[in-house]
A and B are shown apart, each in its own frame.
Chain A
Amino acid sequence: MSAEQDFLARVAAQLGRSPEAAPPRFTPSRPLPDVGPKGAEALAERFQKELERINGVVHRVSDASQVAPTIVRILEEALGPARAGAAGNAGGTAEPNGAGATAVARWSDPVLDEYGIDQALEGAGYRVLAYRPGDDGRAFVEQVEKAPAGIVACDAAIAETGTLVMASSPNRGRTVSLLPPVLIAVLRKEDIVFDSVRVFRRLAQSPMASQVIFKSGPSRSSDIENDLTIGVHGPGALHVILL
């Protein structure tokens, strides 16, 4: 504890006083204004426009029953050849849903259960990879690393920047939205707000999750001769199913 006291005393001394027990409450000269359109449809349109500008793909569906078929369609478009290739490399076609089937990772959050995603995926020949309480975390991460796609939900979205907001929890593994090359996120229209101020204010209402991310479009880099490349470390494709 004394290293801390020494350190803080030194900082305080440079400020010309003795250490503070606690900082004062910061009251900015003006509150941040409420800005942007309010209607859910206006926010959804703006979100879509902004996300498309940064290489994200938005699939709008009108009811919950379309979520699962849309996911299957996205997977088949994105992984079609990869799936066949994987089976070929393994030296033969394993029976669907068996160990040889392509495993797609998803959050085990009940929010996703209501869309019937598992049945649809299994029906299409995929295996579903979800973390259950008591499972070995490291083994899960290693499997997620091999999965060609991850399926998640969103806590909120920011229309101004086309941003998805996701908080981690036991049901919401961090790596599901990170390691697979294709990320599919289900977003409900009513969860879209205009700007980040509203998200930060909401986050301040309750204890922070261990990790909260703002994700805007697929992973990108311009480190090689200023040439834009997508999917360096994180997912190279981002699909948002907007419900």
Chain B
Amino acid sequence: MVAKTPFLERVEKALADEHLRGAVRYTAENLYMKRKAVMADLNALAVKGEAIGTFEELRARAQEIKLHTLAHLDGYLKQAAEQIRKNGGVVHWAKDAEEANRIVLEICKKRGARKLIKSKSMVTEEIHMNHALEAEGLEIVESDLGEYIIQLAKETPAHIVIPAIHKTRRQIADLFGAVAGHELETDTKTLAGFARATLRQKFMNADVGVTGANFVVAETGTICLVTNEGNGRLTTSVPPCQISLVGIEKLVPNLEDLAVMMGLLPRSATGQKITTYFNMITGPRRPGEPDGPEELHVIFLDNGRSNILATRYREVLTCIRCGACLNSCPVYRQLGGHAYGSIYPGPIGTVLTPLLQGFDQWDELLQACSLCGACAENCPLGIQLHKHIIHLRGELVRQGREHPLMRTALKAVHFAWTRPGVYRFVARSAHLGVKPFIRRRADGTEYLDNLPSIAAGWTNSRTMPAPARKPFHRRWAELQREEGAK
């Protein structure tokens, strides 16, 4: 028996959870189909001269924008920082998660802030900000409806765009009921109404609003937030202090570039032409304005990103976190986000997580891929995720991290396949060698089942054709002889 690793345990748990799998399948398919339809619309409009480009054209332009920015990232970061300061904001630099959390805590301490409200942000998940702040006795409340549900359930998101897809309305009503102190009806209107009223009070009483950023425009120092519910706007309009945590890869040079990025992001994420809110924040509240934060802090976070710049994986940093690769991935569709164990699941998580955090915990993630390439096809930045997965697998082998049995098996294959005599012997005797595992179908064809050891992983859920009784090289030789005899 091969011992089960934590990853395989998570996979097994996910596969056994019929409800989770049904919800993930439905959501992923729904988003996938919506995306497909809206991209077809976009292409038709572009042909009519009613859109700035087809999907392919926007994708090429977006790649150009992001790759240019990454190639000059230090210059653009400097420009953005200077602009943010000119607008009255404060800029901080965080090398890693710990530094970022410490900066947030210091800002809160200085202001005497105890209550924080947060709009949906993957980067704050990445640095486990909630955990760090709660450990210091601060209250931090998620305001995106899905994230709020997940926070009450003390879970992690199952999808990067729709975090609570795996929760039923019954479960949500129970979670909200516990907050309300009485039972709630399970209809969407009641539940959403309860969240609106509860979170509205949290917004009104919050000392600090915390956001991530979808884009930061270097020429103006503008922070851009894309939301549908309006929580991003509330977070940046009501509390007296705003903290925005920004991964350094979020920069774009100019305002005009946003037209391209926004042409792609909502369409790729939810199949919308545009989200309800696209919010651009340039500095804190100006003199004479009635609302908006009086203090604005921007924390630029590296946390492993700059290391990727120097590698062949640089284009991974162009990711805009739309989730299109998740929705198109046959592995994600079976598992959902939890099995990955990483903050970023799906194909992008499989590539990004080991790049940001090293192979140690994450080498097995790289096996959660069939190399079909659907992710790259749907990616609005055309990131070749499946190719990166192959290269990362290669690095695993170079570092000697592959499964020992796999190493032995591949060495054996290499030995046999590079020696014609051995190869012929193996091909001839293969049928005999696996005979105990050969099953015969009604139509006479044969397949392998219940293979032992690491091969079990294959035959547990698939069938594999049995080796031929007479190998091809032998049949070929016979055929040639017959042809010659004619």
Binding site for B on A (CB under 8 A): 3-4, 6-12, 14-16, 19-24, 26, 28-30, 32-33, 35-37, 50, 54, 131, 133, 135, 137, 140-142, 145, 160-161, 163, 168-170, 173-175, 178-179, 194-197, 200-201, 203-204, 207-227, 229, 231-235
The winner among B149, B222, B230, B283 for most chain A CB atoms within 10 A is B230
B260 / chain A contacts, CB cutoff of 8 Å: 32
Q: Are A19 and B163 in contact (CB under 8 A)?
A: no
Q: Which residue from A12, A20, A178 sits with its C-beta under 8 Å from B234? A: A178
The winner among B196, B276, B292 for most chain A CB atoms within 10 A is B276
B73 / chain A contacts, CB cutoff of 8 Å: 11, 15
Give a binary string over B43-69; 1 marks a CB under 8 Å from any A CB, 0 the rest.
000000111110000000100110011
Tell me, in angstroms, the Cα distance from A49 to B165 when the chains sit together. Answer: 31
Tell me, in angstroms, the Cα distance from A175 to B270 when the chains sit together. Answer: 27
A132 CB to closest chain B CB (Å) equals 9
Q: Are B278 and A11 in contact (CB under 8 A)?
A: no
The winner among A11, A197, A217 for most chain B CB atoms within 10 A is A11
A11 / chain B contacts, CB cutoff of 8 Å: 73-74, 77, 248, 302, 306, 309
Q: Are B233 and A26 in contact (CB under 8 A)?
A: no
B281 within 8 A of A: yes
B287 / chain A contacts, CB cutoff of 8 Å: 170
B138 within 8 A of A: no
Q: Are A224 and B231 in contact (CB under 8 A)?
A: no
Q: Which residue from B50, B91, B254, B290 sits with its C-beta under 8 Å from A135? A: B290
Known: A211-B281, A229-B188, A229-B189. A4 touches B233 (CB 8 A): no
Tell me, in angstroms, the Cα distance from A161 to B266 when the chains sit together. Answer: 12
Known: A12-B74, A160-B50. A7 touches B93 (CB 8 A): yes
A204 / chain B contacts, CB cutoff of 8 Å: 219-220, 254-256
A7 / chain B contacts, CB cutoff of 8 Å: 77, 93, 95, 300, 302
B169 within 8 A of A: yes
Chain B, interface SS category: mixed
B374 / chain A contacts, CB cutoff of 8 Å: none
Q: Are A200 and B258 in contact (CB under 8 A)?
A: yes
Q: Which residue from A15, A36, A169, A221 sits with its C-beta under 8 Å from B192? A: A221
Tell me, in angstroms, the Cα distance from A215 to B300 when the chains sit together. Answer: 27
Tell me, in angstroms, the Cα distance from A96 to B259 when the chains sit together. Answer: 47
Tell me, in angstroms, the Cα distance from A207 to B71 when the chains sit together. Answer: 27
8 Å CB contacts to A: which residues of B293-317? 300, 302, 306-307, 309-310
Q: Are B75 and A213 in contact (CB under 8 A)?
A: no
Q: Which 9 A-B pairs have the closest CB atoms?
A: A234-B230, A23-B75, A20-B75, A170-B288, A223-B146, A214-B278, A233-B230, A208-B282, A223-B145
A200 CB to closest chain B CB (Å) equals 4
B199 CB to closest chain A CB (Å) equals 7
Q: Which residue from A15, A20, A163, A207 sits with its C-beta under 8 Å from B78? A: A20
B337 within 8 A of A: no
Q: Are B291 and A175 in contact (CB under 8 A)?
A: yes
A-B contact pairs, 10 of them (CB 8 A): A11-B77, A137-B291, A145-B204, A173-B289, A200-B258, A204-B256, A209-B286, A225-B23, A226-B27, A233-B203
Tell me, in angstroms, the Cα distance from A203 to B256 when the chains sit together. Answer: 9
B128 CB to closest chain A CB (Å) equals 21
Q: Are B162 and A210 in contact (CB under 8 A)?
A: no
Beyond contacts A214-B277, A227-B169, A234-B234: 9 other A-B pairs, Cβ-Cβ < 8 A, are A8-B77, A11-B306, A12-B74, A19-B74, A36-B50, A170-B288, A173-B290, A223-B164, A225-B167
Minimal Cβ-Cβ distance residue in A for B230: A234
A207 / chain B contacts, CB cutoff of 8 Å: 282
Tell me, in angstroms, the Cα distance from A209 to B403 when the chains sit together. Answer: 57
Minimal Cβ-Cβ distance residue in A for B27: A226
Give a binary string over B187-228; 1 marks a CB under 8 Å from any A CB, 0 the rest.
011011001100110011000000000000011101000001
Q: Are B290 and A8 in contact (CB under 8 A)?
A: no
Tell me, in angstroms, the Cα distance from A21 to B92 when the chains sit together. Answer: 19
Known: A200-B259, A232-B145, A233-B229. A169 touches B309 (CB 8 A): no
Q: Are A208 and B280 in contact (CB under 8 A)?
A: yes
Tell me, in angstroms, the Cα distance from A209 to B307 when the chains sit together. Answer: 35
Q: Are A224 and B191 in contact (CB under 8 A)?
A: yes
A30 / chain B contacts, CB cutoff of 8 Å: 61
Q: Are B281 and A29 in contact (CB under 8 A)?
A: no
A219 / chain B contacts, CB cutoff of 8 Å: 228-230, 276-277
B253 within 8 A of A: yes
B98 CB to closest chain A CB (Å) equals 14
The winner among B143, B219, B277, B279 for most chain A CB atoms within 10 A is B277
A39 CB to closest chain B CB (Å) equals 14
B306 / chain A contacts, CB cutoff of 8 Å: 10-11, 14
Tell me, in angstroms, the Cα distance from A15 to B49 when the chains sit together. Answer: 39
Minimal Cβ-Cβ distance residue in B for A28: B64
B389 / chain A contacts, CB cutoff of 8 Å: none
Tell me, in angstroms, the Cα distance from A203 to B289 when the chains sit together. Answer: 20
A196 / chain B contacts, CB cutoff of 8 Å: 258-259, 262-263
Known: A15-B74, A22-B79, A223-B164. A209 touches B191 (CB 8 A): no
Tell me, in angstroms, the Cα distance from A242 to B14 when the chains sit together. Answer: 51
Q: Are B145 and A221 in contact (CB under 8 A)?
A: yes
Q: Are B49 and A36 in contact (CB under 8 A)?
A: yes
Q: Are B50 and A216 in contact (CB under 8 A)?
A: no
Q: Which residue from A24, A203, A221 sits with its C-beta under 8 Å from B72? A: A24
Tell me, in angstroms, the Cα distance from A28 to B72 when the chains sit together. Answer: 15
B342 CB to closest chain A CB (Å) equals 22
Tell me, in angstroms, the Cα distance from A221 to B270 when the chains sit together. Answer: 11
Q: Are B64 and A29 in contact (CB under 8 A)?
A: yes
B87 CB to closest chain A CB (Å) equals 8
B274 within 8 A of A: yes
B233 / chain A contacts, CB cutoff of 8 Å: 174, 178, 213, 233-234
Minimal Cβ-Cβ distance residue in B for A137: B290
Q: Are B229 and A26 in contact (CB under 8 A)?
A: no
Tell me, in angstroms, the Cα distance from A22 to B69 when the chains sit together. Answer: 12
A178 / chain B contacts, CB cutoff of 8 Å: 230, 233-234, 237
Tell me, in angstroms, the Cα distance from A103 to B232 when the chains sit together. Answer: 26
B118 CB to closest chain A CB (Å) equals 13
B30 within 8 A of A: yes
Minimal Cβ-Cβ distance residue in B for A167: B280
B459 within 8 A of A: no
A161 / chain B contacts, CB cutoff of 8 Å: 273-274
The winner among B81, B218, B291 for most chain A CB atoms within 10 A is B291
Q: Are B276 and A4 in contact (CB under 8 A)?
A: no
B449 / chain A contacts, CB cutoff of 8 Å: none
